[in-house]
């Protein structure tokens, strides 16, 4: 099956991509069950879905599920370095899903690919970082005529959407998939925790044991990275601006200090804030020789790359995904993956087993939007509790785990006000 409207790197990678997509599917039993139902019910029939997501083996299985649910799916990358070229080729040449994504694409190509999927005039947008929404609300409002709703995968995107909604400028309803319990408790914490260390390890072959690792941001992603780094034998420092999260980090056993202090002692710095310039020029100047900088937040603005380049005498690529900056006094600083998502730039992203839940939430949220959009306002919505719980139950079942249920007596007690000691 071939679709001529696409832009991928190499058709010859198709066979490899098929094998890897099938391998990932083994670890995605919840999405498999949804796909089987979608094949029968076709809940997305007649709808076009424009998806701007990391083009990985797991995303391929999501796209196939949406296609089997009756949708026309058009896919582009949500980060210039996150595409797996063999997967993109397989999606086009084996699965008939128009895909516009090439690993390492430049900025112009990246945004041309976003326009390519939007020019199909979709009914539903599926974002990881809200670039589709931002484009539709910015320079291409003319492509919004068929839109009934959207979904958003990540924290950064949800922040952008809520800002639009608070200003009264959001033009269609969006489900914040990121905020589902079965997403952020697992994908953000366990997925980001493991895949971030995986990406840094692949890029540098660094030994974690004994290193001082500075985690900047202690949301669910930061919690996961700090936990895994500690488990690998690293000494962990957390930097935060939120007093509650900082207190939590301290009670989780991590050192907590200001970035100015941490800059002087860290060996490896990892940003996970969703903001900008978590590491800026003044921090870089305080760092010791050989410091390694990596980002696992969505956009490449968390590290002040321009500031580093302003003070550096030279820049050299010393390994794939590793740029060495030499400062005037001879000190060397290493930036990984151009400051982009290191878990996807240098590795494969989150394990399939955890993306199983996130993409189950995506599939069911798309179905929810298709059925309920006429009753929704132009706002950001949480994933309905029944979807969240269904995904959790299916995942437990796939793991062979059974849990207890409350007795009628226990239910009455928990829902009564007049039963005391």
What CATH number should be reported for the domain holding residue 383?
3.40.50.1480
Q: Is residue 409 part of a domain?
A: no
Q: Is residue 178 part of a domain?
A: yes
Taking a C-beta distance cutoff of 8 angstroms, is the pair 102, 116 a contact?
Answer: no
Q: Is residue 416 part of a domain?
A: no
Domain finish residue from 345, 364, 381: 345
What backbone phi and psi angles, to 5 degrees, belong to 353?
-65, -30
* The pLDDT of residue 421: 64
Model pTM score: 0.92
Q: Is residue 76 part of a domain?
A: yes
Let me know whether 148 and 289 are in one domain: no
Higher pLDDT, 2 or 186: 186
Q: Using pLDDT thresholds of 50, 70 and 90, give the confidence band for residue 374.
A: very high
Let me know whether 211 and 273 are in one domain: yes
Let me know whether 204 and 330 are in one domain: yes
Q: Is the pLDDT of residue 279 over 50?
A: yes
Domain finish residue from 330, 345, 360: 345
The domain containing residue 323 runs over which residues?
A: 192-345
Let me know whether 110 and 200 are in one domain: no
Let me know whether 341 and 209 are in one domain: yes
pLDDT digits (tens, 9 = 90+) for 38-97: 999 999 999 999 999 999 999 999 999 999 999 999 999 999 999 999 999 999 999 999
What CATH number should be reported for the domain holding residue 277?
3.40.50.720
Let me know whether 24 and 172 are in one domain: yes
Let me know whether 281 and 229 are in one domain: yes
Domain finish residue from 322, 345, 368: 345
Q: Using pLDDT thresholds of 50, 70 and 90, give the confidence band for residue 386.
A: very high
Q: Is residue 15 part of a domain?
A: yes
Choice among 229-238, 333-342, 412-421 with the minimum mean pLDDT: 412-421
| Distance (Å, whole) CA 131 – CA 344 | 18
Let me know whether 15 and 146 are in one domain: yes
Q: Is the pLDDT of residue 408 over 50?
A: yes
Let me know whether 33 and 18 are in one domain: yes
Q: Is residue 176 part of a domain?
A: yes
Let me know whether 213 and 303 are in one domain: yes
Number of domains in the chain: 2
Q: Is residue 39 part of a domain?
A: yes
Let me know whether 369 and 326 are in one domain: no
């Amino acid at each position: 099956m071939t679709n001529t409207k696409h832009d991928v790197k190499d058709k010859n990678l198709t066979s490899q991509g098929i094998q890897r997509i099938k391998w990932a599917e083994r670890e995605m039993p919840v999405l498999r069950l949804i796909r089987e139902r979608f094949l029968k019910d076709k809940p997305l029939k007649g709808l076009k879905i424009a998806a701007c997501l990391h083009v990985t083996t797991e995303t391929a299985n999501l796209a196939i599920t949406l296609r089997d649910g009756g949708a026309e799916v058009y896919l582009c990358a949500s980060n210039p370095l996150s595409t797996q070229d063999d997967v993109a080729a397989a999606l086009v040449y084996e699965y008939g899903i128009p895909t516009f994504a090439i690993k390492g694409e430049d900025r112009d190509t990246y945004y041309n690919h976003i326009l390519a999927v939007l020019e199909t005039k979709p009914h539903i947008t599926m974002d990881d970082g809200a670039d589709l929404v931002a484009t539709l609300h910015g320079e291409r409002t003319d492509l919004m005529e068929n839109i009934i709703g959207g979904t958003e995968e990540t924290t950064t995107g949800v922040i952008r959407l809520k800002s639009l909604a608070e200003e009264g400028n959001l033009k269609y309803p969006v489900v914040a998939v990121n905020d589902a319990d079965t997403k952020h408790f697992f994908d953000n914490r366990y997925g980001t925790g493991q895949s971030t260390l995986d990406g840094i390890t692949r890029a540098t072959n660094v030994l974690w044991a004994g290193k001082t690792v500075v985690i900047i941001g202690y949301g669910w992603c930061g919690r996961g990275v700090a936990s895994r780094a500690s488990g690998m034998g690293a000494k962990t420092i957390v930097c935060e601006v939120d007093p509650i999260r900082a207190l939590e980090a301290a009670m989780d056993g991590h050192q907590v200090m200001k970035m100015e202090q941490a800059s002087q002692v860290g060996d490896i710095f990892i940003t996970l804030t969703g903001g900008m310039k978590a590491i800026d020029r003044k921090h870089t100047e305080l760092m010791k020789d050989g410091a390694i900088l990596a980002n696992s937040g969505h956009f490449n603005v968390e590290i002040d790359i321009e500031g580093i380049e302003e003070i550096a005498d030279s820049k050299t690529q010393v390994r794939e995904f590793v740029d060495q900056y030499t400062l005037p006094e001879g000190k060397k600083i290493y930036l990984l993956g151009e400051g982009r998502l290191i878990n996807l730039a240098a590795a494969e992203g989150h394990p399939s087993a955890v993306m199983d839940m996130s993409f189950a939430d995506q599939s069911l949220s798309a179905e929810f939007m298709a059925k309920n959009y006429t009753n929704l306002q132009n706002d950001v919505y949480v994933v309905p509790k029944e979807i969240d719980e269904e995904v959790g139950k299916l995942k437990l079942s796939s793991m062979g785990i059974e849990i207890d249920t409350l007795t009628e007596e226990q239910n009455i007690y928990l829902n009564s006000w007049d039963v005391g000691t």
